[in-house]
Amino acid sequence: MVGTKIVGIAALLIILAGCGGTAGTAVGDGPGAAPGVAGGASASGLDDGGFAAGGAFEEDYGQTAGGAALDNRVIYFGYDDADVDAASLEMLEAHGAYLAENVGTAVRLEGHADERGSREYNIGLGERRVQAVRQILLLQGVTGTQISSVSYGEERPAVLGSDEEAWSLNRRVELIYAD
């Protein structure tokens, strides 16, 4: 999860850097920022109208942080429970804020369980997890009509395997935005 987030931010940095070599150096901690380096030719170009680009980057970066939270669309749960941990709560609040601002956007919640135990009871666990996520989104001001849901129980594992790691990755709710 954390890994995805870092990759997301890194990817955005690369994209922004690609938009103008200027922005990349404006961050100030790259080798390009060091004066007198051969590559400084571009650095000098940066000093001219480069400042405005740097400012734009700051704003983009702010959005990027939110964007990364929105990129994170899976909430994981403990065995036989539906408690949302603090990190997931923060992530869900970002989704909730986004959906509340974009009332025309719909999200589908898909609840899942690990493979242990009986299948219909696991449908119940998946549904309970969906409802926990749904309540958090509603508290953020999302309207009920924006949210649809299904519980797949153990029928749609994200990861194959019968060990703790696979099980922990399969106890989840996925947020799926309509295209």
Partner 1 sequence: MLTVKTGKLKMTGAKAWSRALWLCILAAPIAVAELRIEISQGIDQAVPIAVVPFAWEGSGAAPFDVAGLVSSDLARSGRFRPLAPESMLAQPTRGRDVDFGDWRIMGVEVVIVGRLIATAPDSYTIQFQVFDVFRGEQLLGYRQPATRAQLRGASHLVADMIYQELTGVPGIFSTRIAYITVNGQPPRQTNRLVVADADGANARTLVESDEPLMSPAWSPDGRKIAYVSFEHKHASIYVQTLRSGTRQRVSSRPGVNGAPAWSPDGRFLALTLSKADGNLDIYTLNLSNQVLKRLTEGASIDTEPDWSNDGKHIYFTSDRAGRPQVYRLPATGGRAERVSFEGPYNARPRISPDGEAIAVVHNDRGNYRIAVVDPEHGYTQVLTEGALDESPSFAPNGETLIYATRHGERGVLATVTTDGRIHQRISSVDGDVREPAWSPYRRH
Residue by residue, DSSP assigns 2-15 as HHHHHHHHHHHHHH
Alpha-carbon span 1 to 72, nearest angstrom: 7
- Give the residue, chosen from 112, 149, 171, 173, that forms a contact with partner 1 under the rule CB under 8 A: 149
- Give the residue, chosen from 121, 138, 168, 177, that forms a contact with partner 1 under the rule CB under 8 A: 121
Q: Are 108 and 149 in contact (CB under 8 A)?
A: yes
Nearest approach, Cβ of 101 to partner 1 (angstroms)? 25
Q: Does residue 156 belong to the site contacting partner 1 (CB under 8 A)?
A: yes
Q: Does residue 174 belong to the site contacting partner 1 (CB under 8 A)?
A: no
Q: Does residue 29 belong to the site contacting partner 1 (CB under 8 A)?
A: no
Q: Does residue 131 belong to the site contacting partner 1 (CB under 8 A)?
A: yes
Which lies closer to partner 1 via its Cβ, residue 28 or residue 144?
144
Nearest approach, Cβ of 64 to partner 1 (angstroms)? 30
* Number of Cα atoms under 13 Å in the Cβ half of residue 54: 13
| Strands ordered across the beta sheet of 172-177 | 74-76, 172-177, 107-112, 147-153
CB atoms within 10 A of CB 174: 18
Q: Does residue 113 belong to the site contacting partner 1 (CB under 8 A)?
A: no
Question: Residue holding tokens 């919640």?
Answer: 109
Residue span 73-92 as binding mask against partner 1, x where in contact by CB under 8 A, dash where not:
-------x------------
Residue 64: which H helix or E strand, with range?
helix 50-71
Note the residues at the interface with partner 1 (CB under 8 A): 80, 115-121, 123-125, 127-128, 130-131, 134, 149-153, 155-156, 160, 162
